[in-house]
Amino acid sequence: MKYAVRIGAGGVCAAAVLVALVAPATAASSTTFASKRFGYSVALPAGWIGHQTRGEYPWAGQITPAPDVGTVDWLVDGRGHTLLAASMRVPATMTLAKWRASIVAQIPYKPIGVCVKNVARSRTTSFGGAPALAFGQLCPIGDVTMIVALHKRRGYIFIFQSTPTNSDASDHRLVEQLRRSVRFLA
- Whether 77 is covered by a domain: the verdict is yes
The model's pTM is: 0.79
- Do residues 62 and 72 touch, judged by C-beta distance below 8 A? no
Region 84-104: mean pLDDT is 92
Rounded Cα gap, residues 21 and 84, in angstroms: 17
Residue 40 lies in a domain: no
What would the pLDDT profile of 162-185 be if each residue is shown by its tens digit? Answer: 998 998 889 999 999 999 999 999
Strand-by-strand arrangement of the 31-35 sheet: 31-35, 40-44, 183-184
Tell me which of 99 and 115 has the higher pLDDT.
Answer: 99
Q: How far is CA 15 from the centre of its chain?
A: 13
Asked if the structure places residue 3 within a domain, the reply is: no
Kindly report the CATH number assigned to the domain that includes residue 60.
3.40.1000.10
Q: Tell whether 2 is covered by a domain.
A: no
Which amino acid is residue 2, in one-letter code?
K
Asked if residue 154 is part of any domain, the answer here is yes
- What per-residue confidence (pLDDT) applies to 118? 79
Whole-angstrom Cα Rg for the chain? 15
Residue 149, pLDDT score: 96
> Is the pLDDT score of 72 beyond 50?
yes
Q: Between 29 and 147, where is the model more confident?
A: 147
Length of the chain equals 186
Structural domain boundaries enclosing 19? 9-24+54-184
Question: Mean pLDDT for the chain?
Answer: 80
> Is 36 domain-assigned?
no
- Domain assignment present for residue 61? The answer is yes
16-49 per-position pLDDT tens digit: 333 333 333 333 457 999 999 999 999 999 999 9
Q: How many domains does the chain have?
A: 1
